[in-house]
């Protein structure tokens, strides 16, 4: 499934891995989405049961629709289908792509390719909506196993017209260079949800 690139909405926001206060999270999410800078919102809840993800996902779906943000479910095409989300995202260790496309059709789907040109070439054959590469910087969200650089971004942009999502430790100090090198979207999580200096709404406003 193709998407329309909107240069104003360049942020691919990822949820925190754990939501300790659901009402506060929904409130903060709504304030962040009001910025109109976010194209995708990925619900990425680790070690949650399916019923828990669906319950949270229904509320998140409502908020995303209100602000015309695409809801993406991490890891699970099955949950994406049950939630009628806009799409799903798969890592290299998740469900096989062929199987996933049989479960849920005509939806957005993205593939993580880490820092590998080989994985990028392989992903292109599946005609994903977007390709995610990184990490470009140290991340507070998870340990960086694969380090990417601007040369890889340039390589992917020359290789394919499929939109590119850059990931890994992106914040208000380092994001501009990625956009200047034609990254279509910036995947951001820790900078928004775990920022010790700014609240989520304030953090998003720092990204012009």
pLDDT at 6: 77
Q: Domain coordinates of the chain in residue numbers?
A: 11-203
Q: How many CA atoms lie within 13 A of 73 on its CB side?
A: 26
For residue 38, CA distances in Å to 24, 52, 103 come to 19, 24, 27
In sequence order, the β-bridge partners of residue 43 are: 73
pLDDT at 142: 66
Percent of the chain with pLDDT over 90: 81
Query: Domain 11-203 belongs to what architecture?
Result: Alpha-Beta Barrel (3.20)
Question: pLDDT tens-digit profile of 22-57?
Answer: 999 999 999 999 999 999 999 999 899 999 999 999
pLDDT at 87: 96
pLDDT at 94: 65
Question: For residue 30, what are the contacts with CB-CB under 8 A and spacing of at least 6?
Answer: 63, 66, 67
Across the range 163-186, mean pLDDT stands at 97
Question: pLDDT tens-digit profile of 131-144?
Answer: 999 999 987 766 77
Per-residue confidence band for 153, with pLDDT thresholds at 50, 70 and 90? very high
Average pLDDT over all residues of the chain: 93
pLDDT at 72: 98
The count of other CB atoms within 10 Å of the CB of residue 28 is 16
């Amino acid at each position: 499934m193709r998407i329309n690139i909107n240069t104003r909405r360049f942020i691919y926001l990822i949820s925190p891995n754990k939501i300790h206060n659901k009402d506060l999270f929904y409130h903060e999410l709504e304030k962040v989405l009001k910025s109109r800078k976010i194209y995708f919102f990925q619900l990425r809840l680790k070690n949650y049961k399916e019923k828990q993800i669906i319950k949270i996902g229904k509320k998140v779906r409502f908020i995303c629709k209100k602000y015309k943000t695409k809801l993406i479910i991490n890891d699970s095409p099955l949950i994406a289908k049950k939630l009628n989300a806009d799409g799903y995202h798969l890592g290299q260790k998740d469900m096989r792509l062929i199987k996933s496309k049989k479960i849920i059709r005509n939806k957005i789907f993205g593939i993580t390719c880490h820092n590998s040109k080989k994985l990028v070439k392989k992903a292109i054959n599946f005609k994903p909506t977007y390709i995610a590469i990184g990490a470009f910087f140290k991340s507070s969200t998870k340990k960086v196993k694969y380090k990417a650089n601007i040369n890889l971004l340039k390589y992917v942009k020359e290789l394919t017209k499929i939109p590119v999502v850059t990931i890994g430790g992106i914040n208000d100090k380092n994001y501009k260079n990625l956009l200047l090198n034609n990254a279509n979207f910036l995947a951001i999580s820790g900078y928004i949800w775990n920022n010790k200096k700014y609240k989520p709404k304030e953090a998003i406003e720092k990204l012009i």
